[in-house]
Structure 1
Amino acid sequence: MTNFPFPGLNLAITTPFDDAGRIDYGRLEVNIERYLAAGVRSFLLSSGTGMHVYLSKAESEELVRRGAKIVNGRAKVIAQTSALLVEDVVERTARARDAGAEGIMVLPPFFEGPTDDEGIVDFYAEVAKSGLPVIGYNVPQAVGVAITPELLDKLNAIPGFSAVKDSSGDLGKQAALIRTGRFVMNGADPLVPYALYAGCDGLIWGGANFAPRTSVALVEAASQRKWDEVRDLWKILEPAMGLIWEGDYVQSVYAAADMVGYGAGVPRKPLRALAAEKLPALRHCLDTLTEREAI
């Protein structure tokens, strides 16, 4: 397939916070410019890694508006517009579209929402009326709803439904989604090279916040089927990508990004900075990577 709008690396960018816990837009601009210089050509704003669920509706909308303005057409912009009420998703999506977003990522209904396929299809059909490409978000371990191959086929009958981002962390289940022939994006950091080899169409990658240059290089090598090069690059990335997936994911990404030079402050409450006793192991995993990512 050649007409997928979000191929390759889409960076689930961290949302920077200042010492008072407010969004730091100055730091956001600095980081976006650095990521652009590193070769990133698509950003997901208000991502899970960017603490979407801990941003107010107004904050999320302003983050997308300012982020898109900073990018200014130099890369693609995707916005997460997930919310409990479908009406809120529709409104957030309209604001994101008006701000310049080119696509949206949306969780299925969560917290005692519908679990039957028909209810989920109805939800996404309502969201898709916005006119922006919709990326469904499969993270069943957090939401309680799994997007199966059968459900993915039904969702793709909706005009405007574009792809599913699979963050299940299960390569076998992701491969089953890929075999449908629908667009599938990997969202599980430890699976990146395996998902690319299996044929995923793109990546939404939080760990790339602390490894943009190496991540871009790996994706480019995979696009050229240079699998030996992919394997060599993954040897550099894998220790950290595996470690952050073991727990405290968001805190670990923020800490690692700060160590490498893409600081975004500390996560917003109720999350806290990564525990001090966990920092040495993370720093050790970043030794070789930090040299390669030198800004």
Structure 2
Amino acid sequence: MSEFQFPGLNLAITTPFDDAGRIDYISLEHNIERYLAAGVRSFLLSSGTGMHVYLSKEESEGLIRRGARIVNGRAKIIAQTSALLVEEAVERTARARDAGAEGVMVLPPFFEGPTDDQGIVDFYAEVAEVGLPVIGYNVPQAVGVAITPELLLKLSEIPGFCAVKDSGGDLGKQAELIRTGKFVMNGADNLVPYALYAGCHGLIWGGANFAPRTCLAIVDAAARGNWAETRELWKLLEPVMALLSKGDYVQTVYAAAHLAGYGAGSPRKPLRALSSDCIPALRQSIETLIEREAI
């Protein structure tokens, strides 16, 4: 097996918005520079955390292009290019390639899309023809299609299909994917240390937006096989990661990033900012993290 292209932490970065709901590129640059200084070396732009489904094709392309320009070779750039129509997914992928992306993450066809394996394989094969490494996105609770170990083996025969990101939230099922010997990335924030122990090859992590140094430290400790250190670091992260898994994920990440000084504004409509009733518990869950990040 060739070397994996996107190991370690890949930050599913928030998309900053101004008060009028427009992409705030000044804040994007400020945040990217801070993440780079913290040690982040791979970004996923137009992610779910970055509100991909609420960005137009033009906005998504502009976000990727500006992000790649800001990074300027200092980190890898992945882009989500999911779409209902295969033609649009291919178009978005080509636009991402031309804008500077080095890989793409794509949901399988969703909302009454094909449920048979061959239909899903055909879909990814068309996307892969654009020429970028393709990361499949397994989130069956949201799209109604599960990437099983059998399907992953078939997808991995496609030239250019490089990995699957598993956000299903079931560690046992993720371990089954890992046991295929193909590249698997964890996308369930509350499973991070367990997924690393199970042998996942990388993380796409939205919760890292507000604690990048600590998240990088846990990846490093796991890579060194120091599981005692991994557990101690996870104790700092576990309260907020558990909070994220209870719902209102995007709104909570945006609010936590704001509390940690990574201003991203509020999520774009139809989502609303996290309820003020939820802020005290969120602040309490990240107080120690914020102190550690500032060191």
Secondary structure (helix, strand or coil) at the match of 2:111 reads coil
Deviations 1:120-163 (A, max 9, x none): 00000000001110000000000000000000000001000000
Question: What residue in structure 1 maps to residue 230 of structure 2?
Answer: 230
Q: Secondary structure at the match of 2:163?
A: strand
Amino acid at match of 1:28: L
Q: Distance in 1 between matches of 2:100 and 2:54?
A: 23
User: Residues of 2 paired with 1:293 and 1:168: CA distance?
Assistant: 29
1:292 is aligned to 292
SS in 1 for 2:40: coil
CA distance in 2: counterparts of 1:183 and 1:264, whole angstroms: 31
2:86 counterpart residue number? 86
Query: How far apart are the structure 1 equivalents of 2:21 and 2:286?
Result: 26
Tell me, yes or no, if the aligned pair for 1:260 and 1:294 is still in contact at 8 Å.
no
Supply the AA of the counterpart residue of 1:51. Answer: M
- CA shift for structure 1 position 91: 1.0
Query: Runs of 5+ in structure 2 lacking a partner?
Result: none
1:124 equivalent in structure 2: 124
Distance 1:63 1:231 in 2: 36
Listed as ranges, the matches of 1:258-273 within 5 Å are: 258-273=258-273
Q: Structure 1: which 5+ runs fail to align? A: none
The match for 2:22 is 22
The answer on whether the counterparts of 1:14 and 1:49 sit within 8 Å (CA) in structure 2 is yes
Q: Which residue of 1 aligns with 2:38?
A: 38
The offset of 1:41, in angstroms, is: 0.2
Distance across 1 between alignment mates of 2:65 and 2:287: 36
Give the TM-score, by structure 2 length: 0.99
The residue number in structure 2 matching 1:180 is 180
Q: Distance in 2 between matches of 1:244 and 1:146?
A: 22
Deviations 1:10-38 (A, max 9, x none): 00000000000000000000000000000
Please report how far the alpha carbon of residue 99 of structure 1 lies from its aligned counterpart in structure 2 after TM superposition: 1.4
Q: Name the % identity.
A: 80
User: Could you tell me how far 1:98 is from its partner in structure 2?
Assistant: 1.2
Distance 2:63 2:23 in 1: 8
Q: Is the 8 A contact 1:86 1:127 kept in 2?
A: yes
User: What residue in structure 2 maps to residue 52 of structure 1?
Assistant: 52
**Partners in 2 of 1:149 and 1:128 — Cα distance?**
20
Amino acid at match of 2:99: A
CA distance in structure 1 between the aligned counterparts of 2:140 and 2:219, rounded to whole angstroms: 26
**Offset of 1:54 from its aligned partner?**
0.5
| Residues 246-261 of structure 1 aligned to structure 2 (within 5 Å) | 246-261=246-261
Q: CA deviation at 1:245?
A: 1.1
1:88-116 deviation digits (Å, cap 9, x = unpaired): 11111111111111100000001111010
- 1:263 Cα offset (Å): 1.4
